[in-house]
């Protein structure tokens, strides 16, 4: 039997309609519009594509959304001064610095200077620390792992007790927060990475396998335990050798066509985890705006979503 293909676009739409409702309620009850500021430095085309989508979706959610596009040669003091102004601006509830930054800028310094309550990427040490200590109520969680977690919960429910999870990749942006979310949901978690020995065998032990390595089709069918849930976070652009007429297409870190006959549920690329990232960014912005205004959580919760 073939695996259930998890529809990330559908789940992202549900999150976005919830966010829309929360934004409207904030407007009606408090006359406050959630505000998102996105900073992009330089002209990396992929980053510009992502940022344009973030800004557009924020507008569709009824947010006020400002994009700050800075030239590649921007000095660190200028970037820090802009973050400082946005930190002080009460109409801005969320600040996001698109990564990667040009190499002369210190990305960590920039991110750590964002006020934790406006850090909608969840990368500030305060937010990372809250997640690490299991405080899921007052911090902000990194968007891609939060989105991947919703997809996992849709398949397996919110209590993963007794299940083993393997996360391949240990970045601050994804692997570490993903492992912590799984741990908070009671899974038994292994973090695998480029120095892990016998990676296929480690992966084969997983009831939940999450791949975030950036190597196309690395996870093969014989790496997957029969019946596992497989979450593919890879976005790799490859030359398109099919007859579609396009030059390139996106593939994940998982060999989808082979793995789908072994797994029980699997996310596709595109259309799996990808759409969830922007949706969760909007959810974090609505959450930050509600907390700043009403000192409470917004009128949505993810249990409403499925």
Catalytic residues, by residue number, are: 54, 98, 121
Site string for ligand GUN, 168-207 (x = CB under 6 A): -----x----------------------------------
Which residue, 99, 302, 263, 267, is CA-closest to 181? 302
Among 11, 79, 97, 228, binds ligand GUN (CB under 6 A): 97
66 or 99: whose CB is closer to ligand GUN? 99
Measured CA to CA, the distance from residue 16 to residue 279 in angstroms comes to 6
Which range touches ligand GUN (CB under 6 A), out of 26-34, 71-79, 90-98, 194-202? 90-98
70 contacts ligand GUN (rule: CB under 6 A): no
Chain Cα centroid distance, residue 280: 7
Site string for ligand GUN, 102-141 (x = CB under 6 A): -------------------x--------------------
Which residue, 155, 158, 177, is CA-closest to 301? 158
Q: Quote the tokens at residue 177.
A: 């927060």
| Residue 74 Cβ vs ligand GUN, minimum distance, rounded to whole Å | 16
Tell me, by CB under 6 A, how many residues bind ligand GUN: 9
Among 99, 125, 155, 258, binds ligand GUN (CB under 6 A): 99
Chain Cα centroid distance, residue 300: 18
DSSP 94: E
| Residue 192 Cβ vs ligand GUN, minimum distance, rounded to whole Å | 21
Please calculate the CA angle 135-123-31 and round it to the nearest 5 degrees. Answer: 75
Please calculate the CA angle 87-281-153 and round it to the nearest 5 degrees. Answer: 140
E strand map for the chain: 4-5, 35-41, 64-70, 94-97, 164-168, 188-192, 208-211, 229-232, 236-239, 248-251, 265-266
DSSP 196: -
| Residue 272 Cβ vs ligand GUN, minimum distance, rounded to whole Å | 15
154 or 277: whose CB is closer to ligand GUN? 277
Among 22, 58, 96, 208, binds ligand GUN (CB under 6 A): 96
DSSP 273: S
Among 144, 229, 284, 285, binds ligand GUN (CB under 6 A): 144
Within residues 275-304, the interface with ligand GUN by CB under 6 A covers: 277
41 or 97: whose CB is closer to ligand GUN? 97
DSSP 219: B
168 or 173: whose CB is closer to ligand GUN? 173
Measured CA to CA, the distance from residue 50 to residue 42 in angstroms comes to 13
| Residue 111 Cβ vs ligand GUN, minimum distance, rounded to whole Å | 8
In total, the chain counts a number of residues equal to 306
CB closest to ligand GUN, residue no: 99
Burial 275-284 (b: 16+ CB within 10 A, else e): bbbbbbbbbb
144 or 267: whose CB is closer to ligand GUN? 144
> Which residues of the shown chain bind ligand GUN in the complex (CB under 6 A)?
96-99, 121, 143-144, 173, 277
């Amino acid at each position: 039997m073939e695996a259930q293909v998890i529809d990330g676009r559908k789940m992202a739409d549900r999150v976005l309609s919830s966010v829309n409702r929360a934004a409207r309620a904030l407007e009606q009850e408090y006359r406050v519009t959630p505000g998102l500021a996105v900073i992009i430095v330089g002209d990396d085309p992929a980053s510009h594509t992502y940022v344009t989508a973030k800004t557009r979706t924020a507008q569709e959610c009824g947010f006020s959304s400002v994009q700050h596009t800075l030239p590649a040669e921007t000095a660190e003091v200028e970037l820090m001064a802009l973050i400082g102004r946005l930190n002080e601006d009460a109409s801005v509830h969320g600040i996001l610095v698109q990564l990667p930054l040009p190499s002369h800028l210190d990305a960590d310094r920039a991110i750590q200077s964002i006020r934790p309550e406006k850090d909608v990427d969840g990368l500030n040490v305060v937010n990372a620390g809250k997640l690490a200590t299991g405080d899921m109520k007052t911090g902000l969680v990194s968007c891609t792992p939060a989105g991947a977690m919703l997809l996992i919960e849709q398949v397996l429910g919110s209590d993963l007790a007794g299940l083993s999870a393997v996360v391949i990749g240990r970045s601050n942006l994804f692997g570490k927060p993903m492992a912590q979310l799984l741990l908070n949901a009671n899974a038994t978690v292994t973090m695998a990475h480029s120095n892990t020995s016998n990676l296929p065998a480690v992966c084969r032990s997983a009831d939940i396998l999450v791949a975030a390595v950036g190597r196309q089709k690395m996870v093969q069918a014989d790496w997957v335990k029969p019946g596992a849930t497989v979450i593919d976070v890879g976005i790799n652009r490859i030359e398109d050798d099919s007859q579609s007429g396009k030059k390139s297409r996106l593939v994940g870190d998982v060999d989808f066509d082979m793995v789908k006959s072994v797994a029980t549920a699997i996310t596709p690329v595109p259309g799996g985890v990808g759409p969830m990232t922007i949706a969760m960014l909007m959810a974090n912005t609505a959450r930050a705006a509600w907390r700043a205004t009403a000192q409470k959580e917004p009128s949505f919760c993810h249990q409403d979503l499925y």
